[in-house]
Amino acid sequence: MTGLLEVRDLACHYAVAQGGWRKPAPLRAVDGVSFELPAGKTLGLVGESGCGKSTTARLVLGLLPPTSGAVHFEGELVPARRNARWRALRRRMQMVYQDPLSALDRRLPVIDQVSEPLLIFAQGNAAERREEAAALMASVGLTPNLFDRYPHELSGGQRQRVVLARAIIMRPSLLVCDEPISALDVSIQAQVINLLQDIQERFGMAFLFISHDLKVVRQISDEVAVMYLGRIVEQGAPEEIFQRPAHPYTQALVSAIASPWLRQGSPRIVLEGDPPNPVEIPSGCAFHPRCPSAMPVCRQQPPGLVDIGAGRTAACHLLTRQTSGTAC
C-alpha cells in the first residue's frame, strides 16, 4: 500500500421510492470509484451537481457504509460501523463543509469549539487547551478579540477559519474539503485558499478537495479526478486535465472556463440535455446520450478506465480506439 488513502471499487447504492406500488429502484450514487492519495498531496474531485462527490467524501470518512468496495487509510481498513477503531481513525481525518455556520454550535464561543477535540481526546488541562486553541486561531488569521465571540458574531470568512482551526487542531493527516469556499464572498475565497495551502505546507496534510470552481481546483491540486454519474471518467495531473482534456465530458467542463491558461481558440462545448437521472443510468457509456462523438459501441459497452499516457487514465471508447488502432 503506497498511499495515505486507498479507495478501491467503492460503491454506494440507495434504494429510492418510485411512488405507488412500484418497487424501490436502485440509485447508483457512487459506482466503482478507485483512487489513491499520497500523504501531503491534494486530489481535486470535480463534476456536475449530483455526480457523487459528497457521497464519495462521506464514504472515505466512514460516515456512510459502502455498498461494496473498501477504503484504507494509513494502511487500515476504514470500518463500515462507527466503533472505537473508527473513532481513532477519524481523529486523523477531518472534514470541512461548505457552510461554516451549520458546522458550528451557535451556543458556544468559538475558542471552545476549536479546543473541543482536545477535550474529547483528553489532551492537556483546560488552560493548556485554551492556549493551544488560541495559538492555532492566531496562526489562521483570527485576532484575539474574536476568540470568545459566538459564530453569528463573525463574518463568513472568519467562521471558515474557525472551522479550519477546529479541523486541524488534532493534526489530521487527511482533510476532506467539500466545497469549502463556495458559500464565501469572492473576495474572501482567495484568502481561504491561500490559508489551506499554507496549512498543507506547515502540517503536511493531504486534501481531498471538492469544488465546482475549476480554476481553484487547478491551482490547489496535484491530481484531478473528474466524475460523471458516480464514476471517475478521467484522472491525471491538473496541467494535463485542463490543457489537454481527453474525455469528451472533461473537454466540455474545461471549455466552460474562460482563462488564459486554456488553449487559445478552444471553442466552448455546450452539452446537450440535462444530466440523466441516476436511477436510470444509460446503457453502455453513461455519457453517450450527451456525447458529441458517441459511436455505436458507446451505447452497448461501458468503457473501462484505461491508461492513456502521461500518467493519465480515462474511460472512453474513442480514446481506446485511438490508442489501440482498432475500429469500433
Cell readout for 205 is 496534510
> In angstroms, rounded to a whole number, what is the distance separating the alpha carbons of residues 89 and 61?
9
Which helix H or strand E contains 233, and what residues bound it? strand 231-236
27 binds ligand ATP (CB under 6 A): yes
**Residue 130 exposed, middle or buried by CB count within 10 Å (0-12, 13-18, 19+):** middle
Cell readout for 117 is 477535540
**Residue 183 exposed, middle or buried by CB count within 10 Å (0-12, 13-18, 19+):** middle
Which helix H or strand E contains 236, and what residues bound it? strand 231-236
Residue type at position 221? S
Task: Provide the minimum distance between the beta carbon of 278 and ligand ATP in the complex, in angstroms, as a whole number.
Answer: 4
Which of Mg ion, ligand ATP, none is residue 29 near (CB under 5 to 8 Å by kind)?
Answer: ligand ATP
Q: Contact, 185 vs 164, CB < 8 A? A: no
Residue closer to Mg ion (CB basis): 42 or 54 = 54
Give, in degrees to the nearest 5, the angle at Cα 167 between 68 and 134: 170
Residues 6+ positions from 124 with CB-CB distance below 8 Å: 118, 132
Q: Count the residues of the shown chain that bind ligand ATP, applying the rule CB under 6 A.
A: 12
Which of ligand ATP, Mg ion, none is residue 40 near (CB under 5 to 8 Å by kind)?
Answer: none
320 binds Mg ion (CB under 5 A): no
Closest residue to Mg ion: CB criterion: 54
DSSP string for 140-153: TT--GGGTTS-GGG
> In angstroms, rounded to a whole number, what is the distance separating the alpha carbons of residues 45 and 163?
21
Q: Around 167, how many Cα atoms within 13 Å sit in the side-chain half-sphere?
A: 29
52 binds ligand ATP (CB under 6 A): yes
Task: Provide the minimum distance between the beta carbon of 44 and Mg ion in the complex, in angstroms, as a whole number.
Answer: 14
> In angstroms, rounded to a whole number, what is the distance separating the alpha carbons of residues 307 and 302?
16
Task: Provide the minimum distance between the beta carbon of 46 and Mg ion in the complex, in angstroms, as a whole number.
Answer: 11
CA 230 centroid distance within chain: 13
Q: Which of 16, 108, 126, 328 binds ligand ATP (CB under 6 A)?
A: 16
Binding mask 31-50 for ligand ATP (x = CB under 6 A): ------------------xx
Q: Which of 42, 54, 189, 251 binds ligand ATP (CB under 6 A)?
A: 54
Task: Choose the stretch contacting Mg ion; rule: CB under 5 A; options: 50-58, 84-92, 150-158, 214-222.
Answer: 50-58
Task: Provide the minimum distance between the beta carbon of 29 and Mg ion in the complex, in angstroms, as a whole number.
Answer: 10
Residue closer to ligand ATP (CB basis): 230 or 236 = 230
Task: Provide the minimum distance between the beta carbon of 98 and Mg ion in the complex, in angstroms, as a whole number.
Answer: 8
Residue closer to ligand ATP (CB basis): 31 or 158 = 31
Q: Which of 8, 14, 109, 183 binds ligand ATP (CB under 6 A)?
A: 14
Residue closer to ligand ATP (CB basis): 49 or 143 = 49
Residue closer to ligand ATP (CB basis): 56 or 115 = 56
Which of Mg ion, ligand ATP, none is residue 49 near (CB under 5 to 8 Å by kind)?
Answer: ligand ATP
Residue closer to ligand ATP (CB basis): 55 or 251 = 55
Residues 6+ positions from 184 with CB-CB distance below 8 Å: 156, 157, 160, 192
29 binds ligand ATP (CB under 6 A): yes
Give, in degrees to the nearest 5, the angle at Cα 318 between 253 and 237: 50
53 binds ligand ATP (CB under 6 A): yes
Binding site residues, Mg ion, CB under 5 A:
54
Give the residues lining the site for ligand ATP (CB under 6 A).
14, 16, 27, 29, 49-55, 278
